[in-house]
Structure 1
Amino acid sequence: MRRADRLFLLIHALRGRRSAITAQRLAQELGVSLRTVYRDVADLQRSGVPIEGEAGVGYLLRKGSDIPPLMFTPDELEALVVGTRFVRAFGGNRLGREAAAALLKIEAVLPPELRERSDRTRIFAPEVDRLENSGLIDDLHAAVTSALVLRMNYRDNDSRTTAREIEPLCLAFWGGSWTLGAWCRLRGDFRNFRPDRIVDYAPTGETFVETRERGLAAYMKAVQG
């Protein structure tokens, strides 16, 4: 995380709070060390940010330095909280971190009654050991975003493994399983691949350019029948 982003998140974590937040909790929420929190707080105080408190006690922004709360209804807020929990559990490591950071920014500027509603939300998506935590979804997402040709060994329904070169176009989550939509150069057609059946994979170093016949719009038309 860039230092500027970290300082921004630290300020947002302090905004709108009636009681001090400990350095330990700030470190956990930001994913940094206690030493980093102490150093960042001291730097912000020296630059004029009205942070009160001290190490071992906790920190908060001086009264009157808050910004107006975001205007969410309770149901809108619950949707954001639940959505963030699902992204953290199923969206891969990178998007999970960014979702947590986004929720931290939102909750930091909520009025107390809405923050309490956020804490009471009883829909959870536990972050247990699963495919999304392996880094595979992050890598496939990066390949889709950067239009990277992938070479992989893929296991089919009959446990036969074939070597493929694919042009990855999109990822889809089906509430328990993922599919990777791609143009398969071996088959000369669109195919859906299950990430859990990818034996191994690597970028070829080649990028591809989507065309009318082999791009995302053509893929969506093909899979929709």
Structure 2
Amino acid sequence: MARSGRMFEIIQMLRTSRSPLTAEAIAARLEVTKRTVYRDIATLQATRVPIEGAAGIGYVMRRGFDLPPLMFTPEEMEAITVGLSLIARTGDHSLEEAGATAMAKISEVLPSSEPSTAQTHLFVSSWHAIPDPAFDLRLLRRAIREERKLELRYRDGVGNLTQRIVCPLAIIYYIDGILLAGFCELRQDFRHFRHDRIEECEPLDLRFQGQSAALRKMWRDSHDLFHYETEENPP
């Protein structure tokens, strides 16, 4: 996460917390070190964000501090509400949690004249037929963002188990499954991996920085995203 985004998250956490938050608690939620939290809070305090507290005691946001309100048209709010609600149909639990947090943040900073996301007239079924994964799917999304290679222990449709080193490029969500698209070093080609056949997923220290955009374009130019390709083009 970029530093600006991380400091925004710290502000949001302190604004919504009913009790002081320690640097350790903030660091755990942001997945950074306590030293990073201390530096970020010092920077925020230097810019006159009213954060009070100290290391080892905890931090609070002084009352009265607010962020500029978000302005959305009713149509835009309906689009946001439906879009975030549809995340429940992906079967990606960590993504669903992030969607709920985003919805809460939007509701928090909406002007009182804007329609509330908690009182919507739009409802979305959360039904899906996606099997639960054997690992946290946020590992895939993080590896894609960081251009980090993954080591997969993958079982194909006929039961063969292989070890793969993959450059992850994209995740495709279907109503009954999730595919990871990536460049497979074993096959030296693009391959799709069903999430429920990935038995183990381990991020590596190996990177492919600066290559993901070109690889993703090559993949998109040569594949149809609306069909499973693990059967016709087995990994």
Structure 2 unaligned blocks of 5 or more = 1-5, 20-28, 30-52, 54-58, 226-235
Q: Which residue of 1 aligns with 2:34?
A: none
Number of residues of Structure 1 aligned to a counterpart in Structure 2: 184
The amino acid across from 2:12 in the alignment is F
CA distance in 2, matches of 1:94, 1:117: 21
CA distance in 2, matches of 1:212, 1:7: 32
Structure 1 unaligned blocks of 5 or more = 15-22, 25-31, 33-38, 51-64
Contact 1:150 1:166 in 2 (8 A): yes
Deviation at 1:138, TM superposition (A): 0.5
Residue by residue, what CA displacement relative to the aligned partner does 1:76-124 show, whole Å, maximum 9, x if unpaired? 1121112222336637455444433332232123344643464133323
C-alpha RMSD over aligned residues: 4.1
Residue by residue, what CA displacement relative to the aligned partner does 1:135-159 show, whole Å, maximum 9, x if unpaired? 5311111222222222222111212
CA distance in 1, matches of 2:68, 2:143: 40
Q: Which residue of 2 aligns with 1:138?
A: 138
CA distance in 2, matches of 1:109, 1:77: 13
Q: Which runs of at least 4 in structure 1 moved beyond 6 Å after TM superposition? A: 65-68, 127-130
- The structure having more radius of gyration, on CA atoms, is 1
Q: Which residue of 1 aligns with 2:9?
A: 5
Contact 1:151 1:204 in 2 (8 A): yes
Q: What percentage of residue pairs aligned between the two structures are identical?
A: 26
Structure number with higher helix proportion: 1
Q: TM-score, normalised by structure 2?
A: 0.60
Q: Which residue of 2 aligns with 1:194?
A: 194
The amino acid across from 1:123 in the alignment is F
Q: TM-score, normalised by structure 1?
A: 0.62
The amino acid across from 2:196 in the alignment is D
2:102 aligned with 1:102, yes or no?
A: yes
Q: Which residue of 2 aligns with 1:206?
A: 206
- In structure 2, the CA distance between the partners of 1:212 and 1:174, relative to structure 1 (3 Å rule), is closer
CA distance in 1, matches of 2:133, 2:191: 24
Contact 1:93 1:132 in 2 (8 A): no
